[in-house]
Amino acid sequence: MITIEGKSVFGGVSIGKLMFYKRNEKVIRRTHVDDVDAEWKRFEEAKNTAIDQLKVLYDKAIEDVGEANAMIFEIHQMMLDDLDYLESIEGIIRTQSVNAEYAVSTTADNFAQMFASMDDAYMQGRAADVKDVSERVLDILCGVSNGTREMTEPCIVAADDLAPSETVQLDKEKVLGFATMYGSSNSHTAILARTMNIPAVIGMGEALNPKYDGEMAIIDGFTGTLYVDPDEETLAKMQEKRAKDLEQKELLNQLKGKENVTKSGQKINVYANIGNVSDLGAVLKNDAGGVGLFRSEFLYLENSTYPTEEQQFAAYKQVVESMAGKKVIIRTLDIGADKQVDYFNLAKEENPALGYRAIRICLTRPEIFKTQLRALYRASVYGNLSIMFPMIISVKEVRKIKEIIEEVKAELREEGLPFKEDVELGIMIETPASVMMSRELAKEVDFFSVGTNDLTQYTLAIDRQNLALDEFYDPHHPAVLAMIKMAADNAHAEGKWIGICGELGADLELTEEFLKMGLDELSVSPAMVLPLRKKIRECE
């Protein structure tokens, strides 16, 4: 038996044969061409074919993993039309009189290296994307298909790492789990595993060797371990662990329709976080009490220009109507930091996490903000809609927001467009400043929602995207919990409710602590709603 340790990205146990993902081999050689115009035309045809393929993949991905995760294929299409990328390829073909394959391969290497060396984690992630999209063009130029092999039986898919285009083309019915040599918790393989609810272990390095192809294996997604050719004792132990896990999932299903109430009678609302209208099915399926965070920036991220008022209105209206009177809290756009949008033309920042983002963009570009607020207020008549503002640090900002809201209401009245006058307004508690000012801020708004991801990074002065600082990043740090407690006390002192919509809300080790603090609501990913309900009902 071979035991290989890695990093778990989704729990559970899967048992089956290992199938190593096979890519078609191609050798890229540098050859001289006499007709550079014909060679450039050859590249352009391959590029257009690649864009057509990506459109098909986008449609498939929407069905498999939802709109938010399918967006990567729209980004890949844009990458193929990127002027810098195209100019580099054309420049190499024309100045060196070389073949298109060499020009694409060289450009891909140069761009990937450039992205990988950047400080920004988001830009580092683009290195894998530029390689993936260039490999697609090279496959077309070389006349080879892009790999994979037919899955004749359910198996555990193993690879160095899987590009988004590769994961989407797998037969989902036959994938028992993922095991990769490299990759991060935010890689497309990890996202797909979480979406499909299947065990996955990443970062196993060279120990995950293709010579194990076809061997019986076990993924323990709870511990991040892969067992190759397991002995009888390990197999029996893992079969028992898998049976218990499936039994637990079945138990959780029995909690649907039950109240989120402790043994002593303390009630708390459990809502769901979503990033897209397509996530609503998961909210209803998991019996969430409402939507505690709808990330409206996805409307901006998947558009090639500013989304119109009508586009936004249609999305917000669909969400509140679908939730049939349950609370839906929509966060105004949180662009900037790790979420960049080209058409916003945001300047490069040395430290984007501390930069021009979220409410700071809205208050300095009121025309964008007003469009969103108009759409939100128009949608408010179709259900129970609340509006939440991110990255607040002062009372002055909240008062400025209220001024803009009054202007929007006046416009809507003048145009005879219906809206609710008393839409509940709240703010995100994400900065130490908002915690320290929470008593004063509570006088201005109806509720608080703690964004624990940013609150942790700002409190601890640790960039949460920096993997080198993982050992120092402690979301359970007493200072972080003291900040949440202080905000809760100040909210309640002013008669306002407070919830958590960050990652910590789903941390079952802290549920009891949050109940003691008197938090009124926890908003988590749809898949965590029932496990959290179970934990709450077990608390004294």
Last residue of a domain, one of 142, 172, 199: 142
**Most confident option among 105-114, 170-179, 489-498:** 489-498
Is 242 part of a structural domain of the chain? no
253: exposed, middle or buried (C-beta count within 10 Å: 0-12, 13-18, 19+)?
exposed
Question: Do 385 and 434 belong together in one domain?
Answer: yes
- Whether 194 has a binding-site annotation, put simply, is no
Is 255 part of a structural domain of the chain? no
Is 93 part of a structural domain of the chain? yes
User: Which pLDDT belongs to residue 337?
Assistant: 57
36 vs 21, residue with greater confidence: 36
- Whether 453 has a binding-site annotation, put simply, is yes
User: Which pLDDT belongs to residue 192?
Assistant: 67
Residue 9 — pLDDT band, cuts 50, 70, 90?
confident
Rounded CA separation 233/407 (Å): 70
Strand duo 225-228 + 2-5: pairing: antiparallel
Average pLDDT, the chain: 89
Rounded CA separation 447/499 (Å): 8
- Residue 411 parent element (H or E): helix 395-414
CA 168 to chain centre: 16
Instruction: Answer for the pair 531, 508: CB distance below 8 angstroms, yes or no.
Output: yes
Is 71 part of a structural domain of the chain? yes
Q: Would residue 476 show up in a list of annotated catalytic residues for this protein?
A: no
Q: What is the percentage of the chain residues whose pLDDT exceeds 70?
A: 94
Question: Do 364 and 453 belong together in one domain?
Answer: yes
Instruction: Answer for the pair 355, 401: CB distance below 8 angstroms, yes or no.
Output: no
Residue 114 — pLDDT band, cuts 50, 70, 90?
confident
Bridge partners of 4, per DSSP, are: 226
Is 489 part of a structural domain of the chain? no
- Angle among Cα 309, 312, 318 to the nearest 5 degrees reads 135
pLDDT of 13 over the 90 cut: yes
Question: Do 168 and 90 belong together in one domain?
Answer: no
Question: Do 339 and 434 belong together in one domain?
Answer: yes
Rounded CA separation 376/294 (Å): 12
User: Which pLDDT belongs to residue 328?
Assistant: 97
Q: What is the CATH number of the domain that holds 172?
A: 3.50.30.10
247: exposed, middle or buried (C-beta count within 10 Å: 0-12, 13-18, 19+)?
exposed
Residues of 489-502 as b/e, b for ≥16 C-beta within 10 angstroms?
ebbbeeebbbbbbb
Q: What is the three-state SS of 407-448? A: HHHHHHHHCCCCCCCCCEEEEEECCHHHHHCHHHHHCCCCEE
Question: Do 175 and 189 belong together in one domain?
Answer: yes
Question: Do 315 and 441 belong together in one domain?
Answer: yes
Residue 50 sits in which domain range? 36-142
Q: Which of 214, 210, 246, 199 is nearest to 7 (CA)?
A: 199
Question: Do 178 and 321 belong together in one domain?
Answer: no
- Whether 430 has a binding-site annotation, put simply, is yes
Is 384 part of a structural domain of the chain? yes
Question: Do 293 and 367 belong together in one domain?
Answer: yes
- Whether 413 has a binding-site annotation, put simply, is no
- Whether 269 has a binding-site annotation, put simply, is no
Pull the structure tokens for residue 291: 């939507």
User: Which pLDDT belongs to residue 358?
Assistant: 86
139 vs 446, residue with greater confidence: 446
State the DSSP code for 380: G
Q: What is the CATH number of the domain that holds 522?
A: 3.20.20.60
Last residue of a domain, one of 212, 232, 252: 232
User: Which pLDDT belongs to residue 109?
Assistant: 92
285 vs 451, residue with greater confidence: 451
Last residue of a domain, one of 232, 248, 278: 232
Overall domain count for the chain? 3
Instruction: Answer for the pair 137, 50: CB distance below 8 angstroms, yes or no.
Output: yes
Q: Average pLDDT of 328-350? A: 78
Q: Would residue 32 show up in a list of annotated catalytic residues for this protein?
A: no
Question: Do 319 and 432 belong together in one domain?
Answer: yes
Is 521 part of a structural domain of the chain? yes
The tens digit of pLDDT for each residue in 499-517 reads 999 889 999 999 999 999 9
Is 479 part of a structural domain of the chain? no
474 vs 344, residue with greater confidence: 474
Q: What is the CATH number of the domain that holds 73?
A: 1.10.274.10
The tens digit of pLDDT for each residue in 135-188 reads 999 999 998 765 555 678 899 999 888 877 787 778 878 889 989 998 776 666
pLDDT of 465 over the 80 cut: no
Rounded CA separation 511/535 (Å): 7
CA atoms lying within 13 Å on the CB side of residue 359? 24
Q: At residue 294, what are phi and psi to the nearest 5 degrees?
A: -105, 115
Candidate list 76, 155, 188, 362, residue with the active-site label: 188
State the DSSP code for 348: P
- Whether 331 has a binding-site annotation, put simply, is yes
Give the Å distances, CA to CA, from 438 to 293, 434, 441, 443: 20, 6, 5, 9
User: Which pLDDT belongs to residue 185?
Assistant: 67
User: Which pLDDT belongs to residue 376?
Assistant: 97
Question: Do 362 and 311 belong together in one domain?
Answer: yes
Residue 495 — pLDDT band, cuts 50, 70, 90?
very high
Helix (H, G, I), strand (E, B) or coil at 167: helix
Question: Do 137 and 270 belong together in one domain?
Answer: no
The tens digit of pLDDT for each residue in 49-102 reads 999 999 988 888 887 767 767 788 888 999 999 999 999 999 999 999 999 999
Question: Do 224 and 362 belong together in one domain?
Answer: no
Rounded CA separation 146/26 (Å): 10
